[in-house]
A and B are shown apart, each in its own frame.
Chain A
Amino acid sequence: MRRASLALLMLALAALARDAGAAEKRKVTLWSFAPNNVEEYQARKADIEAKFNIELDIQVVAQDAFVQKLQAVMLDGKGVPDAIEWLIENNRILNANPKKSFVLPLDEYLKSSKDFAKVVPGRIAWTTYGGHVYGLPHDVHPVVLIYNDTLWKAAGVDVAMLETWDDFFEASKKLTAEKSGGKPLHYALPYGNDGLANSMFMIWQQSGSQILDRSGAPTVSSPEFTAFVKKWLEWQKTDAFTMWDWGNFKALLANGTLASYTSPDWWVPQVNLASTGNDTGSTTALGDSKAEKAEVKYQFRVRPLPTYRKGGPAASSWGGSFMAIPRGTKDPALIYKIIEYMEYDQSALKTRWEKTSMLPPFASVWEDPMFKQPDPRFGGQKLGELMVATAKGLPKVNSGDIFWDVINDFAAQYTEIASGKISVEEGLAATQKKAEYRFQQLKRM
Chain B
Amino acid sequence: MFTSAAQPPLPAAQTHPRRRRGRDALGGWAMVAPFLILLLVFNLYVFGSGLYLSLTDQQGINAGDFVGLENYRDLLFADEFKAQDLYRAIGTTFLYTLGCLATQVPVAFALAYVLNTIPFRRLRTALRAAFFLPVLINTVVIALLFRMFFNRDQGIVNQLLGALGLPSHVDWLMNSQWALPLLVVVSFWQWTGFHTVYFLAQLQTIDPALYEAARLDGITPFGALLRITLPLMRPAITFVMVTAAIGGLQMFDLVFMLFPNATYGPGGVAKTLVAYIYDQGFSQQFLTGVASAIGWITFLIIAAVSILQLRVLGLGKHGEA
Query: Which A positions have Cβ atoms within 8 angstroms of B?
Result: 67-68, 71, 74-75, 92, 95, 99-100, 102, 181-183, 187, 192-195, 197, 242-245, 248, 252, 257, 327, 405, 408, 411-413, 415-416, 418-419, 421, 434, 437, 445
Bound-state Cα–Cα, A68 to B267, Å: 25
User: Which 4 pairs, one residue from A and one from B, show the smallest C-beta to C-beta distance?
Assistant: A415-B266, A181-B162, A74-B61, A412-B268
Known: A197-B261, A416-B266. 18 other contacts (CB 8 A): A67-B286, A71-B286, A181-B159, A181-B168, A183-B162, A183-B169, A193-B152, A194-B174, A194-B260, A257-B153, A327-B61, A408-B284, A415-B176, A415-B266, A416-B176, A416-B267, A419-B266, A445-B59
Which residues of A sit under 8 angstroms from B171, Cβ to Cβ?
193
Please give the distance in Å from B260's CB to the nearest CB on chain A.
5
Instruction: State whether A434 touches B60 (Cβ < 8 A).
Output: no
**Nearest B residue (CB) for A327:** B61
The reply to whether the CB of B238 lies closer than 8 angstroms to some CB of chain A is: no
The reply to whether the CB of B263 lies closer than 8 angstroms to some CB of chain A is: yes
List 8 contacting pairs A-B, 8 Å CB cutoff, sorted by A: A67-B282, A67-B286, A75-B61, A92-B286, A182-B162, A243-B152, A248-B154, A405-B284
The reply to whether the CB of B123 lies closer than 8 angstroms to some CB of chain A is: no
Please give the distance in Å from A379's CB to the nearest CB on chain B.
28
Instruction: State whether A421 touches B61 (Cβ < 8 A).
Output: no
Which residues of B sit under 8 angstroms from A244, Cβ to Cβ?
260
Please give the distance in Å from B230's CB to the nearest CB on chain A.
43
Bound-state Cα–Cα, A391 to B207, Å: 78
- Give the contacts of B33-88 with A (CB-CB under 8 A): 59-63, 80-81
Please give the distance in Å from B48's CB to the nearest CB on chain A.
17
Please give the distance in Å from A188's CB to the nearest CB on chain B.
13
| Total residues of chain B contacting the partner, CB 8 A | 31
Which residues of B sit under 8 angstroms from A413, Cβ to Cβ?
267
Bound-state Cα–Cα, A21 to B54, Å: 49
Which residues of A sit under 8 angstroms from B285, Cβ to Cβ?
92, 405
Which of B59, B151, B169 is A100 in contact with, Cβ under 8 Å? B59
Which residues of A sit under 8 angstroms from B152, Cβ to Cβ?
193, 242-243
Bound-state Cα–Cα, A157 to B101, Å: 54
Instruction: State whether B151 touches A243 (Cβ < 8 A).
Output: yes
- Give the contacts of B94-116 with A (CB-CB under 8 A): none
The reply to whether the CB of B175 lies closer than 8 angstroms to some CB of chain A is: yes
Instruction: State whether A187 touches B60 (Cβ < 8 A).
Output: no
Bound-state Cα–Cα, A244 to B260, Å: 10
Bound-state Cα–Cα, A231 to B174, Å: 20
- Central interface residue in A75, A99, A197, by most chain B CB within 10 Å: A75
Bound-state Cα–Cα, A192 to B262, Å: 12
Instruction: State whether A102 touches B60 (Cβ < 8 A).
Output: yes
Which residues of A sit under 8 angstroms from B169, Cβ to Cβ?
182-183
Bound-state Cα–Cα, A252 to B151, Å: 13
Please give the distance in Å from B147's CB to the nearest CB on chain A.
9
Which residues of A sit under 8 angstroms from B168, Cβ to Cβ?
181-183
**Nearest A residue (CB) for B144:** A247
**Nearest A residue (CB) for B161:** A181
Instruction: State whether B267 touches A243 (Cβ < 8 A).
Output: no
Please give the distance in Å from A100's CB to the nearest CB on chain B.
6
Please give the distance in Å from A244's CB to the nearest CB on chain B.
8
Bound-state Cα–Cα, A102 to B151, Å: 38
Which residues of B sit under 8 angstroms from A194, Cβ to Cβ?
174, 260-261, 263
Bound-state Cα–Cα, A187 to B153, Å: 10
Bound-state Cα–Cα, A140 to B73, Å: 45
Bound-state Cα–Cα, A412 to B283, Å: 15
- Give the contacts of B256-272 with A (CB-CB under 8 A): 260-261, 263, 266-268
1/0 per residue, CB under 8 A from A, across B231-264: the answer is: 0000000000000000000000000000011010
1/0 per residue, CB under 8 A from A, across B259-298: the answer is: 0110100111000000000000011111000000000000
Instruction: State whether A434 touches B81 (Cβ < 8 A).
Output: yes
Please give the distance in Å from B17's CB to the nearest CB on chain A.
52
Which residues of B sit under 8 angstroms from A183, Cβ to Cβ?
153, 162, 168-169
Bound-state Cα–Cα, A182 to B170, Å: 12
**Nearest A residue (CB) for B271:** A412
Please give the distance in Å from A99's CB to the nearest CB on chain B.
7
A415 and B284 in contact, given A71-B60, A99-B62, A193-B174 (Cβ under 8 angstroms): no
Which residues of B sit under 8 angstroms from A99, Cβ to Cβ?
62
**Nearest B residue (CB) for A99:** B62
**Nearest B residue (CB) for A252:** B154
- Central interface residue in B63, B263, B282, by most chain A CB within 10 Å: B263
1/0 per residue, CB under 8 A from A, across B149-166: the answer is: 001111000010011000
**Nearest B residue (CB) for A422:** B267
Which residues of B sit under 8 angstroms from A405, Cβ to Cβ?
284-285
Which residues of A sit under 8 angstroms from B261, Cβ to Cβ?
192, 194, 197, 411
**Nearest B residue (CB) for A65:** B282
Which of B80, B267, B283 is A437 in contact with, Cβ under 8 Å? B80
Bound-state Cα–Cα, A175 to B174, Å: 25
Which of B63, B151, B260, B268 is A75 in contact with, Cβ under 8 Å? B63
Bound-state Cα–Cα, A53 to B61, Å: 31
Instruction: State whether A192 touches B62 (Cβ < 8 A).
Output: no
Bound-state Cα–Cα, A243 to B155, Å: 10
Please give the distance in Å from B155's CB to the nearest CB on chain A.
9
Which residues of A sit under 8 angstroms from B283, Cβ to Cβ?
92
Bound-state Cα–Cα, A192 to B163, Å: 25
Instruction: State whether B61 touches A92 (Cβ < 8 A).
Output: no
Bound-state Cα–Cα, A416 to B175, Å: 8
Which residues of B sit under 8 angstroms from A195, Cβ to Cβ?
263
Bound-state Cα–Cα, A252 to B64, Å: 49
Which residues of A sit under 8 angstroms from B282, Cβ to Cβ?
67-68
A412 and B60 in contact, given A92-B286, A243-B154 (Cβ under 8 angstroms): no
A100 and B62 in contact, given A182-B162, A194-B174 (Cβ under 8 angstroms): yes
Please give the distance in Å from B162's CB to the nearest CB on chain A.
4
Please give the distance in Å from B283's CB to the nearest CB on chain A.
8
Please give the distance in Å from B253's CB to the nearest CB on chain A.
12
Which of B60, B61, B175, B260 is A192 in contact with, Cβ under 8 Å? B260
Bound-state Cα–Cα, A405 to B287, Å: 13
Instruction: State whether A412 touches B61 (Cβ < 8 A).
Output: no
Please give the distance in Å from A235's CB to the nearest CB on chain B.
16
Bound-state Cα–Cα, A95 to B61, Å: 12
Please give the distance in Å from B86's CB to the nearest CB on chain A.
15
Instruction: State whether B60 touches A100 (Cβ < 8 A).
Output: yes
Which residues of B sit under 8 angstroms from A100, Cβ to Cβ?
59-60, 62
Instruction: State whether A415 touches B61 (Cβ < 8 A).
Output: no
Which residues of A sit under 8 angstroms from B59, Cβ to Cβ?
100, 445
**Nearest B residue (CB) for A445:** B59
